[in-house]
Chains A and B, each alone.
Chain A
């Protein structure tokens, strides 16, 4: 891993593949996914997470660049939109388009997945977290934002106040269609059954809270029932 590259080099003609965070010291790789690497560091004296999307070598360079930049922009915009709707997310600090990185606040806490799987919550705690998740989803959806990757790993419980914080808006997009909201819920249901099959009724608790907080719940639930029968994809034909 290359950890030191001079800032001055950056002004050369190929701005895209610059590794950005590499200029930050004490960067620690936290995790690596299919789309991005996540680093931990300090930025402006605050604990910070850097998410860097890397280029895919199998794609044509022009297309790759375009896709990476659009997705990065979309992610940043979605985070802001979620915050405007009242959904807690990590605050954004900096978006470096040239290096396809996004710098954000580090939220101290554990993922809902971790808490549930290790049995760290009692029944009342589970009920509280699920109610909060449902409320946040209602806020997101009523605000016209689809998360796109709802899993329990993408929800954190903040250590300081116990609030649920949504992360990873990398697949988010704007939509008000009941279809998209229904699919979003369906993805969450599948994630819950596969990761937390030993716990029952989680999703029902979320739905109950969603219904209480969303103004458009009935259209969404109707569509959700249809999606459940046919699966995530709308048509089976090519």
Chain B
């Protein structure tokens, strides 16, 4: 588990990484029916190439929230949606949210209290591992395909930066 301060928002983001989660189907049901209380963002770890995109998505969600401009229903749903470089909300959830065939799960919450974390640890059936393992669990090939990252671009910067650019530019398209 790790926690990030988000500059300028006086908020923090707590992130947990679970490996080989077995009850993703149930978790998805819970999320879809809005019965996860307190709210959490459940993210398919395969699509997240690094912590930078996650932090940027969190920043974006908080800023939009403070302006009353959320596109999705909740702040944590917005975090999941912001991880994608696409404006298609359903597609973004399908790819970055928890799905029936999700194996590794990133779980995040803004300003999480210790009891919130205990609650979610009880909810997820999988092995909690250090966040550093995220790089191993991500599916670089699939992500590169989804984000359309070509070889030219990888010569210029890392895949993580390429994803960051796409998240940043989404609203400009």
Contact = CB atoms under 8 A, between A and B. Distances in A.
B98 interface: no
B143 interface: no
Majority secondary structure of chain B interface residues (helix, strand, loop or mixed): helix
B116 interface: no
Interface in A72-95: 72-74, 76-77, 79-80, 83-89, 91-95
B60 interface: yes
Nearest to B149: A84
Interface string B140-154: 000000000010110
B115 interface: no
Given A23-B8, A24-B7, A95-B172, A86 B165 contact: no
A124 B19 CA distance: 52
Interface residues of A, number: 38
Interface in B151-168: 152-153, 155-157, 161-162, 164-166, 168
Given A83-B157, A91-B161, A94-B60, A103 B8 contact: no
Most buried by B among A10, A74, A91: A91
B52 to A, nearest CB: 6
A191 interface: no
A7 interface: yes
Interface residues of B, number: 32
A159 interface: no
B81 to A, nearest CB: 15
A126 B101 CA distance: 55
Interface in A59-79: 72-74, 76-77, 79
A1 interface: no
A49 to B, nearest CB: 13
A189 interface: no
A42 interface: yes
B173 interface: yes
A94 B59 contact: yes
Majority secondary structure of chain A interface residues (helix, strand, loop or mixed): mixed
A105 interface: yes
Contacts of A93: 56, 164, 168
A96 interface: yes
A149 interface: no
A11 interface: yes
Given A24-B8, A88-B156, A97 B171 contact: yes
Contacts of B7: 24-25, 41-44
Given A44-B4, A98-B67, 13 more contacts: A15-B67, A15-B69, A24-B7, A24-B8, A45-B4, A46-B52, A73-B172, A79-B165, A79-B169, A85-B152, A86-B152, A94-B56, A95-B172
